[in-house]
Amino acid sequence: MTQLVEINSLQEFEKVIEKGLRLVLFTASWSRPCREQCRNVRKIKKDLLGLMPVILVDVEKFPSIASDVVIQTIPTSVVYQDSEEILRLVGLQQEKVLRSIIKKIRKIK
């Protein structure tokens, strides 16, 4: 089952995105759209199985990470491949949009 793994340091963030395909959700706990985005990602967990882990970065706890990645709006979802950003989705994404993005990523993987 795909879980949402919360990052606890800048070093952990850098290590997590270093190798492989990763979906990183930049959120804030107080934000209703961020909570909805997390729910939508959980709904597509079967599509994510075996493809990529999902990582949560709370921009309130780690403003330096958000600044380094230039997060200006939350929620923002970023897909990384071996530390390189390959896709960025800004704002709340509906379940069907997330599913279509995952299908495209599966084809290029």
Gyration radius from the chain CA atoms: 13
Which residues, at least 6 apart from 41, have a Cβ–Cβ distance to it below 8 Å? 4, 23, 25, 48, 54, 77, 98
* pLDDT higher than 80, residue 108: no
Compute the C-alpha angle 57/60/69, nearest 5°.
55
How remote is the C-alpha of 94 from its chain's centroid?
14
The helix (H) or strand (E) run that includes residue 27 is strand 21-27
- Regarding beta strands 4-6 and 54-58, do their DSSP bridges make them parallel or antiparallel, or are they unpaired? parallel
- Regarding beta strands 54-58 and 84-90, do their DSSP bridges make them parallel or antiparallel, or are they unpaired? unpaired
- The residue type found at 36 is E
Per-residue pLDDT tens digits for 65-100: 999 999 999 999 999 999 999 999 999 999 999 988
What is the model's pLDDT at position 1?
42
Reported pTM: 0.89
Mean pLDDT of 59-68: 93
Instruction: Please report the domains of the chain, with CATH numbers, ordered by start residue.
Output: 4-102 (3.40.30.10)
